[in-house]
Amino acid sequence: MIKIGIPRALLYYQYYPMWQTFFEELGAEVVVSPPTTQTVLSEGSSRVVAETCLPTKVFLGHVLSLVKKCDYIFIPAIRSVKSKTYNCSKFLGLPDMTKAVIPESPPILDIDIDVNKGKHELYQAIYKLGRRFTWNPFRVRRASIAAWQANLNYQQLLCNHSLTPPQAIERILDTPGVEPKTHSEYPIPMQATIAIIGHPYLLYDEHINYRLIHRLKQAQNKVLTPEMLTTEELESATARLVGRAKWTCEEEVVGAGGHYLRSGADGVIGITAFGCGPDSLMMDIVQRQAQTMTTPFMSLTLDEHTAEAGIVTRLEAFLDMIYRKKRKRICV
């Protein structure tokens, strides 16, 4: 059976159930790289120039860990998933960049996703990808329909059950991981509601953000993430802040930020990677909005030099500030 490798990085968190269904329907086996570790990160960063952003380095590390473990590696080049949007160059150049910096990698399966070019081009691209497994166009069609359904189910699961992507993927795969215990068994009231905004590949990669979500939960805070919002909520919040979204991944930052700032989160934490092009503008928009609404906002920039102690100190200070603000409000 053909083995397809999927790196556990970047768009994995958004589309993994869809990709898995697609390839399995076509009779391939899917191999996912293990979670990020320090070795993955440092091997990934050793291959590229220093200015490359952290998520890309992590991604390349995952590709390296898949070398010799699969026959193909699936790396899509996603330009747009909505009309008139555009994606960061690093996503577009990802297949070519991987080929250039990891010459020993297995052959790369790439697919151009660009809805601006019209449905026909999109279907052609999917068929071209499926043709590597079967000559039968109807089988490719069946696989894509099943994949799309899997994607819809996945989004439903995220939105309705307030699960994080790794939890939802675990539930779909039916392999419940060891859920780190929080104190939620005890009936202690929640201290505050904290919203975290940013791209899924930063929020849910526990190695690079030092288990931020877990830490917040452990401190008895309710954590809100962009995936918990419906598409309509995200879109209307984006429209309020910037008009029409211009980036493919804009809604999870600007939309979620705009929504949570307004819907009464006690504080918002924005997570960006150092040198992230789109984020440098989008986080700025959210930060400006937070300033006018006087909601506490903290911007955390991650790179491979980020240290655990630094993150913890900043997090504690931020939480203390929010608690004090809340107490004051209650007293008055």
- Tell me the closest approach of the beta carbon of residue 110 to other proteins, in angstroms: 8
Burial 289-327 (b: 16+ CB within 10 A, else e): bbeeeebbbbbbbbbbebeeeebeeebeebbeebbeeee
Q: Specify the residue, 97 or 163, whose C-beta has the smaller distance to other proteins.
A: 97
- Catalogue the E-assigned strands of the chain: 3-6, 29-32, 72-74, 77-80, 108-109, 112-114, 192-197, 221-224, 267-273, 297-302
Q: Specify the residue, 255 or 278, whose C-beta has the smaller distance to other proteins.
A: 278
* Count of CA atoms in the C-beta half-sphere (13 A) of 65: 23
Q: Specify the residue, 77 or 239, whose C-beta has the smaller distance to other proteins.
A: 77
- Tell me the closest approach of the beta carbon of residue 194 to other proteins, in angstroms: 23
Q: Specify the residue, 283 or 298, whose C-beta has the smaller distance to other proteins.
A: 283
- Tell me the closest approach of the beta carbon of residue 128 to other proteins, in angstroms: 13
- Tell me the closest approach of the beta carbon of residue 42 to other proteins, in angstroms: 17
* Nearest C-alpha neighbor of 197 from the set 249, 235, 253: 253
- Tell me the closest approach of the beta carbon of residue 58 to other proteins, in angstroms: 15
Please return the burial class of 216, using the count of CB atoms within 10 Å of its CB with bins 0-12, 13-18 and 19+. Answer: buried
The per-residue DSSP string of 52-72 comes to S-HHHHHHHHHHHHHTTT-SE
> What residues pair up with 114 in beta bridges, in sequence order?
80
Q: With contact defined as beta carbons under 8 Å apart, do 201 and 36 qualify?
A: no
Q: Specify the residue, 151 or 289, whose C-beta has the smaller distance to other proteins.
A: 289
- Tell me the closest approach of the beta carbon of residue 320 to other proteins, in angstroms: 25
The token pair at 295 is 């909601």
Q: Specify the residue, 27 or 93, whose C-beta has the smaller distance to other proteins.
A: 93
Q: Specify the residue, 101 or 319, whose C-beta has the smaller distance to other proteins.
A: 101
Secondary structure class of 85 (helix, strand, coil): coil
Q: Residues in the site for other proteins, rule: CB under 8 A?
A: 48-49, 51-53, 77, 79, 84, 86, 88-90, 92-93, 95-97, 99-101, 103, 110, 112, 242, 246, 272, 274-281, 283-285, 288
- Tell me the closest approach of the beta carbon of residue 48 to other proteins, in angstroms: 5
